[in-house]
Amino acid sequence: MLLDNFSTILQGCLLKDPKYQKAIYDRYKGFALKIAFRYIYRYDGAVDIVNDAFVKLFKNLSSIVFTIHEVDNEKILLGWFKKIIANTAIDALRKSGMISEIGGIPDGDWDIKDTNENAEELLHFKDLITLIKHLPPMYRIVFNLYVLEGYTHADISDTLNISVGASKSNLSRARDLLKLSIKKLEEVQVCSI
């Protein structure tokens, strides 16, 4: 099928063809939601972030330089899109005053197709996201940006308008809190065996 070829889909998106934009949306919605859930824990809020990120992606797609190698193009697009999603989520959190998100992620949302996962990875991902969810907002955001998104402390400093030292401190505190949470979780699991 024509829509299975990434280069064809990409060309259609560059021409702003809705059929190809829908193909990209369908292909990467699960990928995008999982990134949005790292920051926003309400389903409707995460969907809003994803939709806004797709709009930004399609609006600015022509500014990305693509090569002739199909695999590289997909990697380039996904790397760029990952940053768009994270920045869109951070902007939304800023608008809400960095208010800590409440609520859970419905179990059915974990079933969204993502070709990069298996059952064990999904279980670990769910556990990690649940633990990260309980971090204070700034610790959670810095942890997500540094560990999960691959930002440097300088990038985080620029993105969040905090010092590099504050970024490092927030990351250290987030890791310490996560270590304690993991230790408690492991103790509970050992006791229940």
Domain boundary among 104, 128, 158: 104
Q: Is the pLDDT of residue 118 over 90?
A: no
- What does the alpha-carbon distance between residue 83 and residue 56 come to, in Å, rounded to a whole number? 11
Question: Do 91 and 150 fall into the same domain?
Answer: no
Tokens describing residue 144: 């997500």
pTM of the entire predicted model = 0.71
C-beta separation of 47 from 92 below 8 A: no
- Domain limits for position 87: 1-104
CATH code, domain with 179? 1.10.10.10
User: pLDDT tens for residues 23-81?
Assistant: 999 999 999 998 998 888 788 899 999 999 999 999 998 887 666 556 678 888 898 99
C-beta separation of 61 from 14 below 8 A: yes
What number is the average pLDDT over the span 11-28?
Answer: 93
